[in-house]
């Protein structure tokens, strides 16, 4: 009898321990439990001026400042996407007399891929690269590299856009709306996210631990698929970037900087123009948008051709 009782208690304890472990690992991954116990205060901060620029675009910003600098986060293997962008919306052009240039942001891989990128950079002169290791978790470093580049090399530009390599950008409509908006300082726009919460599910791509971000809510930020700001903001964000908590989600990190600077997000237009999702293509629809997401290189080429062909055509009123 006593022996059996002990056995039951033992099983009960095992179940208790296992379910505790499950609960803990649901909220914190194993590596985090380790870093939690071994961490030193302030190990994760953003360092300004860290790393060296390896590749810089060929341009004299002071002499001939562009109206808009578009910066595209990209990785080494996305060569098709970069080529499609160079042939479509990223081709240097003037819209209503305003010059637009597009550059790609890359890190390093410590493999022979780096040589390929160096050659690509020498050929197209449109790559900004620093010596941090490329990867999804270093996206904040990538965006901050672009912001640092504007701060150091091109503060004379009027506007800056940050986008991704699988995004369609209607630079015609964007330029038109920016001119119409007539805001030149402390202006930040995109797809506004005013009420976002950290995702605590470890299986999500956007999982953020309580250790990395202990607060309940994110500050207002714009979806990283495409946001646009007056270039004075680049220097201001760069300036405060060491004073806000570091987070690997680049768009949230920029949001933290904006909150510190008390810069409020604004809509570019009375209708939605930034789409963080996929949209079904029609030239009339795409004439009146700024961004849409999940566009493959081949789609980009056909969409762009159709858009340019129809620029002067009338569309039915919506």
Ligand X SMILES: *[C@@H]1O[C@H](CO)[C@@H](O)[C@H](O)[C@H]1NC(C)=O
**Residue ranges in contact with ligand X by CB under 6 A:** 132-133, 135, 137-138, 182, 235-236, 239
d(CA 174, CA 179): 9
Closer Cβ to ligand X, 74 or 102, answer by number = 74
Q: In sequence order, which residues have a C-beta less than 8 Å from that of residue 143 and are 6 or more positions away?
A: 71, 73, 105, 162, 224, 250, 253, 254
CB of 219 to ligand X, least distance (A): 18
CB 191 to ligand X: min, Å: 25
Q: How far is the CB of 300 from ligand X (least distance, A)?
A: 28
Question: In the block, which residue shows the tokens 């791509």?
Answer: 205
In 3D space, the residue among 290, 257, 263, 291 whose CA is nearest the CA of residue 144 turns out to be 257
Least spacing, CB of residue 168 vs ligand X, in Å: 28
In angstroms, what is the minimal distance from the CB of 130 to ligand X?
9
What burial class does residue 95 get, using C-beta atoms within 10 Å of its C-beta: 0-12 exposed, 13-18 middle, 19+ buried?
middle
Nearer to ligand X, 168 or 187 (CB): 187
Give the residue with the Cβ less far from ligand X, 110 or 119. 110
Tokens of 106: 């890359």
Nearest in space to 266 (alpha carbons), one of 209, 313, 220, 217: 220
- How far is residue 206 CA from its own chain's centroid? 13
Q: Which is nearer to ligand X, 79 or 261 (CB)?
A: 261
Question: Which is nearer to ligand X, 239 or 310 (by Cβ)?
Answer: 239
């Amino acid at each position: 009898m006593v022996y059996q009782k002990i056995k039951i208690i033992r099983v009960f304890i095992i179940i208790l321990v296992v379910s505790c472990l499950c609960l803990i690992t649901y909220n914190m991954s194993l590596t985090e439990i380790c870093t939690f116990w071994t961490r030193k205060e302030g190990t994760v901060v953003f360092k300004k001026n860290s790393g060296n620029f390896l590749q810089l675009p060929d341009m004299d910003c002071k002499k001939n400042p562009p109206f808009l600098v578009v910066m595209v986060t990209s990785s080494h293997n996305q060569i098709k996407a970069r080529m499609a962008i160079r042939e479509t919306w990223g081709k240097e052009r003037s819209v209503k007399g305003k010059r637009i240039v597009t550059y790609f942001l890359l890190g390093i891989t410590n493999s022979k891929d780096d040589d390929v990128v160096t050659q690509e950079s020498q050929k197209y002169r449109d790559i900004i690269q620093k010596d941090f290791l490329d990867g999804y978790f270093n996206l904040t470093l990538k965006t901050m590299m672009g912001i640092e580049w504007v701060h150091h090399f091109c503060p004379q530009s009027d506007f800056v856009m940050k986008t991704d390599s699988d995004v369609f950008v209607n630079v015609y409509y964007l330029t038109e709306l920016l001119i119409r908006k007539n805001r030149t300082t402390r202006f930040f726009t995109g797809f506004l996210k005013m009420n976002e919460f950290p995702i605590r599910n470890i299986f999500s791509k956007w999982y953020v631990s309580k250790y990395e971000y202990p607060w309940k809510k994110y500050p207002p930020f714009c979806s990283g698929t495409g946001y646009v700001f007056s270039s004075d903001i680049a220097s201001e964000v760069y300036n405060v970037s060491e004073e806000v908590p570091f987070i690997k989600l680049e768009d949230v990190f920029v949001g933290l900087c904006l909150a510190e600077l008390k810069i409020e997000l604004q809509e570019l237009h009375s209708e939605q123009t930034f789409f963080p999702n996929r949209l079904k293509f029609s030239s009339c629809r795409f004439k009146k948008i700024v961004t849409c997401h999940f566009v493959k290189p081949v789609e980009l080429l056909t969409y762009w051709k159709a858009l340019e062909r129809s620029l002067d055509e009338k569309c039915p009123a919506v």
